[in-house]
Structure 1
Amino acid sequence: MTGDPLRFTVLGSATPYPAVDNACSGYLVRGGGARVWVDAGTGTLARLQRHLRLDELDAIWISHLHADHTADLLTAYYGALYADVRLTAPIPLYGPPGTADRLAHFLTHTDTRSPVESAFAVEELRDGHRVRVGALTLTSRAVAHGIPAFALRVEAVGRSLVYSGDTAPCPALTGLAAGCDVLLCEADGPEPPAGTEKVHHTPEDAGDTAAAAGARRLVVTHVGRSLTPRQAVERAATRFGGPVAHADPGVTFPVG
């Protein structure tokens, strides 16, 4: 479907818990007829259903296993197996090592392990993992978050979207984002206390990463509660000369 352009819709961009009007991290990426749910933070499943049903997804991609990026996988499991959804096959789910066992740990309430593989066909990510989902090419790189975590590059019809997930600035993300049309980058807030490992971008870091990668547009997301979205945009713009926007919930951004 060459007439179906690459784009993403913000299902939620709040952290570390949902706001009244904003779910946690989650995005619906579409292009060429393919539909991928990228991160499944609290509240995003409800927002996803404004656009499609679970059984209309082509894949799910998860950056890391913190709850503000994965919690709605638990309710998606029940929806996929025990409600009105009728899957013809388990939904492909690309996630960090241990994803299936982590889900099963939360979902198992008897001596019998919950059949998470009946809902999700889990494939573990690794650095450099690449997969085709319909017309979309998904490439993952390991990034610096203190736990197994990945950034994502989505390419279709000559366009490219890069999503940072949660990470400190690192060469892997900059390289993955090289020349991308849109960099969707977290901008969590202040610098960590002295002596503490850095695991997030500040807004200035997001601008620096976008500039170093030669991105054409920057969209900041996952803005911590110490900042307003406007403040995050203004601070990122001091380091990046291209267009900068905030990932407002419900907004659909064209890529390219």
Structure 2
Amino acid sequence: MSSDLLRLTVLGSATPYATLDNPCSGYLVSSGGTRVWVDAGSGTLAQLQRHVRLDEVDAIWISHLHADHSVDLLTAYYAALFADIQLAAPIPLYGPPGIADRLAHFLTNTSTRSPVESAFAVHELDDGHQAHVGALTLTSRAVAHGVPAFAVRIEAEDRSLVYSGDTAPCANLTRLAEGCDVLLCEAESAQAPAEGEQVHHTPEDTGDTAGRARAGRLIVTHVGRFLTPQQAVARASARFDGPVDYAAPGVTFSIG
């Protein structure tokens, strides 16, 4: 496998808590020696180390601050500052507004605020935020999840991956995913909720979003507990003509 390919490795995709064999949401995206940890749900730091040390990660990107997408930042903080990791500089951390104070709130045990900025160089996301990390360009858009939440388009040369984070179907996600090679999209909801209450995709929604965006390939992830991965893939495939896969833990997908 060529090192300059855009690659997606699934560290975990479970929701809302880890199973025996599947951590919560987390992914390693890499190209040309650049490595970005995307979402840090419970259990994903352990799986990350199968592929790369924490001090070899070029950046961390967090979609939103629900625990199943961010809680392993807490243990990453301890690893970065108080263990065998030797950081040359704080790890760039891209996340929703308030992420540094949220981490400090959990980590502070005395009257002195925990030095989260010693472990992480925090960059707060906004709608349309763009960052260049080594060989990768990351473009973030705000999405509809009831809390500050973002999707991201990750590009390396002419290859592109879009990750939905957690969101209801929304125009920003569709526009961000326009013409992408791969759409990694959540499929949390087993059935459509009441009008005005939707904060996740159903598998059918996932297929519709991929179709509207003219994505080349769909990977369903964050499949809810009342669905099997096979059901989610079948239901998404009924609404999307392209190839559909499941984000099984440990699997690496080559993109483009």
- TM normalised by structure 2 equals 0.98
Matched positions, count: 255
- The DSSP-based 3-state class of the residue aligned with 1:101 is helix
Match of 1:252 in 2: 252
* Distance in 1 separating the partners of 2:22 and 2:46: 11
Is 1:114 the counterpart of 2:114? The answer is: yes
The CA deviation at 1:197 is: 1.5
Task: For 2:205, give the aligned amino acid.
Answer: D
* Distance in 2 separating the partners of 1:3 and 1:224: 33
* Distance in 2 separating the partners of 1:165 and 1:10: 14
Match of 1:19 in 2: 19
Match of 1:222 in 2: 222
Residues 197-252 of structure 1 deviation map (CA, whole Å, 9 limit, x = unaligned)? 11000000000000000000000000000000000000000000000000000000
What pairs up with 1:1-256 in 2 under 5 angstroms? Answer: 3-191=3-191, 193-256=193-256
Q: Assess, with a 3 A threshold, how the Cα gap between structure 1 residues 15 and 3 changes in structure 2: closer, same or farther.
A: closer
The CA deviation at 1:193 is: 4.1
The CA deviation at 1:190 is: 2.4
* Distance in 1 separating the partners of 2:21 and 2:190: 23
* Distance in 1 separating the partners of 2:57 and 2:3: 19
* Distance in 1 separating the partners of 2:125 and 2:237: 32
Residues 191-200 or 50-59, more deviating: 191-200
The CA deviation at 1:194 is: 2.5
8 Å Cα contact 2:187/2:220 also seen in 1: yes
The CA deviation at 1:57 is: 0.5
Residues 127-152 of structure 1 deviation map (CA, whole Å, 9 limit, x = unaligned)? 00001000100000000000000000
* Distance in 2 separating the partners of 1:242 and 1:195: 29
* Distance in 2 separating the partners of 1:180 and 1:226: 29
The CA deviation at 1:170 is: 0.3
Residues 43-77 of structure 1 deviation map (CA, whole Å, 9 limit, x = unaligned)? 00000000011100000000000000001000000
Q: Which runs of 5 or more structure 1 residues have no equivalent in the other structure?
A: none
8 Å Cα contact 2:192/2:202 also seen in 1: no
Q: Which runs of 5 or more structure 2 residues have no equivalent in the other structure?
A: none
* Distance in 2 separating the partners of 1:19 and 1:95: 25
- The DSSP-based 3-state class of the residue aligned with 1:23 is coil
What is the RMSD of the two structures over their aligned residues, measured on CA atoms? 1.0
Residues 10-30 of structure 1 deviation map (CA, whole Å, 9 limit, x = unaligned)? 000000000110000000000
Task: For 1:234, give the aligned amino acid.
Answer: A
- The DSSP-based 3-state class of the residue aligned with 2:75 is helix
- The DSSP-based 3-state class of the residue aligned with 1:24 is coil
Residues 157-213 of structure 1 deviation map (CA, whole Å, 9 limit, x = unaligned)? 200000000000000000000000000000002235425511000000000000000
The CA deviation at 1:33 is: 1.5
The CA deviation at 1:126 is: 0.2
Task: For 2:143, give the aligned amino acid.
Answer: V
* Distance in 2 separating the partners of 1:217 and 1:194: 29
8 Å Cα contact 2:186/2:223 also seen in 1: yes
* Distance in 2 separating the partners of 1:55 and 1:116: 16
